[in-house]
Structure formats: structure tokens, C-alpha cells
Amino acid sequence: MLRLNSADSGFDKAFRRLVADRRESDEDVARDVALILNDVKNRGDAALAELTQRFDGHALTTDDDWRIGPETCREAFDALLPDLRAALELAAQRIRIFHEAQLPADRDDTDAAGVRMGAKWRPVDAAGLYVPGGRAAYPSSLLMNAIPARVAGVERLVVVTPTPKGQINPLVLAAAHLAGVDEIWRVGGAQAVAALAYGTQRIRPVDVITGPGNAWVAEAKRQLFGVVGIDMVAGPSEILVIADGKNDPEWIAADLLSQAEHDPAAQSILITDDPLFADTVADRVGVELTMLPTARVASESWNTHGVIIEVPDIAEAAALANLLAAEHVEIATDDPEAIFRLIRHAGSVFLGRYTPEAVGDYVAGPNHVLPTGRRARFSSGLSVLDFMKRTSFIQLDAAALAQIGPAAIALADAEGLPAHARSIETRLGI
């Protein structure tokens, strides 16, 4: 775990290194993914079967080996314990309500020149949703991807998820039932992303692919952008906690580990203005790790990528946070709004001492699929808009064309495009 102090002479150099550390896939991953994508593109189901057997130990032989039907999902939902079913339903309800408020409005206006113009929003026809199934299975991710797509009006929702040794978490199936998923295919990794993008003999292609995954999944989405739309290229999870010394160190230590347990490459950062609090949190992290079933992964993440930064004034944290542009930012101070007003780059912000990031992963409502690797500088979390596209339209009558057409002719001539000019001139009788 790295300790930094903004008052030290070498802080700027050390902090720049921290900001530049992407913790993402290397050239070997990119090369391997390119080979997998090409194999699936050329051989379809045969390539999927070979790769699924190799990486997941699951044989794709019969229809049941390939696909999980809606009846199986319904049975998984019905078999849930009442408390767990209620929790899943609450999460789905809150996610749906939040995303329904994101639906954009169409525009249709006529200006003073008599030109009618506007835009219509329409959903994509089909969306592919990647649901991890390796290190952990995430029904919450399925809800976070499927529900915005349904709210957007997408007609066909296709889930791909790896099933190592043929096993799948029944809670994922229950979430699929609750969200109204149409298809679930038992394939994962870069090969599953390729199948969604190109299509195979069994799996029809989709228009947009969303959802988190490992380095191979992220790289596959990056390479296939343009063949299909994607939500983002996601890297390892990250959390930045801005906390003063009035917090309970046990709470903050647990918050830091909530992301560290995701992945050995995940990163947890604490910024505080209290050196004693920093020491206490560091000690408490060690205590928490002795009690975590996920301690092996969380320890590697914390020991390799964990950071504690001391600042003389907690107000300085906002400037550092903007440079880090972290996926998750917690602000646990007396006046979190004062710092929040200065935060320009973050995937999602959690305000106050009673708002742990983990509540946002499940039941708060906003999406937990968020930009990582400093991409919050230019991108946002998953939303209804990722499953929609906007089509603009224009309508002129003769009077409107007479009013603005001559300017278009002048510009077309200036650009050396006489056919453009001619298409307007013929209508104006010039």
C-alpha cells in the first residue's frame, strides 16, 4: 500500500505516476483477443464450442448445453427465499424508476424561417448483455444492464454468461426472469462478445453490447466498437474515498475493501486530512482482511494498488479527485456538498457518511456500470441512452427554401461541390 503526502517535495511526481497507472490489458491480451474474434467470425458455433470447452470446461453439445430457457429462469425466481426475492424486486423497482426518468423527449419545432426541424429517439432493435460468471456471479449487473434496455424499448435482450463446469448462479437466472430477458447463452469471454457482434449459426447478432467483464471481454468490446455499439471499455474497479477524521475508521476500511475484493487489479484510494485517522484506517484494513472470505483477492489489490494520501486541508481533495477521475467517489465529510460542487470528473459520487458505495451497487437506483481508468473525464455511466439513437429531421416548403437556400448555395460553391449547389438551385429556379 502506497502512502503519499501532498506536502512532500516528491508528491507531484508520485501522484502523476498514480494517475498514469491504468492497470489494464497489455499487448498480449489484445493479440489473443484479435485471434479469438477472427476465429468466431469465421467458424461461428464451432469456434464457440471449442473455446468454451477450453476456457470454461463446459461442453456445448445439446440445445440445453447452449442455452438456458425462460422456464428455468422462472423456476429459479420462484425458488428464492422470500427475503432474497424481495431484495431483488426492490433493486429492480428502484433501478427502473431511476432510468425511466432518463427517457429523452422528441423535438419538433418550426423556426422563424419556416423550417421544421427536430429529432426522434428510437431504441436499438437488439442488445447483448454480458454478465460475468467467473470469479463471481452478479445478478445485480444483469438488472443494471437489462432494465435500462427494457425502459428504452429494446425488443430483444440477449444475455451471454460463462458457466464454468456447467454451473450458473440461480440468482442470475432469477434476475433474468425479473428483467424479462429473452435469451441466455452459456458462453463467455471474448468469444461471447464476438458471437453477439458477428452472429453465429445459433446466435443472431445484436446492435449494442453492454456489461462488465474481465480484461479479455473489455478488449473484445474495444476491438469490436464500430461493428456494434458498446457502453464503454471498462477496466478494473476503483474507489476513491474522501474522508475526514470524524469518520469511523472501520466504516472507511470496509468501503476501501468493497472494491478491492472485486479483482487483484482493483484500486482503493483514501484521501484524508488527518494523519492519525490515516494510520488507523490502514490498521483497520488489516483487521478486516483477516475476516474476509475474499481476503486473497482483496489483499493483493490493497497491497499492490492501495493508496492513502494525506492533505493539509480536505478541500484539496477535489482537485486530486478530478485528476484521478475515479469510477466511484465517496465524500464522507461534514459538508460533502462543498466538495461535490468542485468534482468535475467521477463515474458516480456518494455523499455523506451513511452512503457507502456498496448501496449503489445494488438498490439505490443509479447504474453501477461506470467508466474506469480515468474515462470519467469524457464518459458517463450506463443509461437508457446507451440503448437508443437519435434521428434528426428537417422539412422545408418553397418559402423556407427560398429564405435559406441561397446561403447553402454560396457555401456549396465555396467548398467546390457544384452538385450540392445545383440540387438547391433547381428548386429555386436559378
Q: Give the pLDDT of residue 23.
A: 78
Average pLDDT for the chain:
96
Enter the pTM of the model: 0.93
State the greatest distance between any 2 C-alpha atoms of the chain, in Å, as a whole number: 84
Instruction: Place domain 2-24+235-364 in its CATH homologous superfamily.
Output: Nitrogenase molybdenum iron protein domain (3.40.50.1980)
Residue 134 has pLDDT above 80, yes or no: no
Q: Give the pLDDT of residue 344.
A: 98
Residue 2 has pLDDT above 90, yes or no: yes
Q: Give the pLDDT of residue 302.
A: 97
The half-sphere exposure of 347 on its side-chain side, counting CA atoms within 13 A, is 27
Q: For residue 100, what pLDDT band results from cuts at 50, 70 and 90? A: very high
Q: For residue 98, what pLDDT band results from cuts at 50, 70 and 90? A: very high
Q: How many residues does the chain have?
A: 430
Residue 24 has pLDDT above 90, yes or no: no
Q: For residue 26, what pLDDT band results from cuts at 50, 70 and 90? A: confident
Residue 246 has pLDDT above 90, yes or no: yes
Per residue in 288-328, pLDDT (tens digit) is 999 999 999 999 999 999 999 999 999 999 999 999 999 99
Between CA 194 and CA 205 the distance in angstroms is 9
Cα angle at 365 between 187 and 236, to 5 degrees?
50
Q: Where in the sequence of the chain do the CATH 3.40.50.1980 domains occur?
A: 2-24+235-364, 27-109+123-230
Residue 79 has pLDDT above 80, yes or no: yes
Between CA 324 and CA 15 the distance in angstroms is 9
Per residue in 158-216, pLDDT (tens digit) is 999 999 998 888 999 999 999 999 999 999 999 999 999 999 999 999 999 999 888 89
Per residue in 335-377, pLDDT (tens digit) is 999 999 999 999 999 999 999 999 999 999 999 999 999 999 9
CB 186 within 8 A of CB 60: yes
Residues carrying an active site annotation:
327-328
Per residue in 135-147, pLDDT (tens digit) is 457 899 999 999 9
Q: Give the pLDDT of residue 228.
A: 98
Between CA 43 and CA 149 the distance in angstroms is 30
Architecture per CATH, 27-109+123-230: 3-Layer(aba) Sandwich (3.40)
Q: For residue 25, what pLDDT band results from cuts at 50, 70 and 90? A: low
Please return the burial class of 81, using the count of CB atoms within 10 Å of its CB with bins 0-12, 13-18 and 19+: exposed
CB 428 within 8 A of CB 422: no
Tell me the one-letter amino acid at 154: V
Between CA 146 and CA 180 the distance in angstroms is 8
Residue 109 has pLDDT above 90, yes or no: yes
CB 259 within 8 A of CB 361: no
Q: Report the range of poorest mean pLDDT among 20-29, 93-102, 214-223, 312-321.
A: 20-29
Q: Count the helix, strand and coil residues of the chain and give each as a percent rounded to the nearest 5.
A: 50, 15, 35
Beta strand 67-68 pairing with 183-185: antiparallel
Residue 271 has pLDDT above 60, yes or no: yes
Between CA 19 and CA 32 the distance in angstroms is 27
Q: Give the pLDDT of residue 136.
A: 59
For residue 76 the three cell numbers come to: 429459479
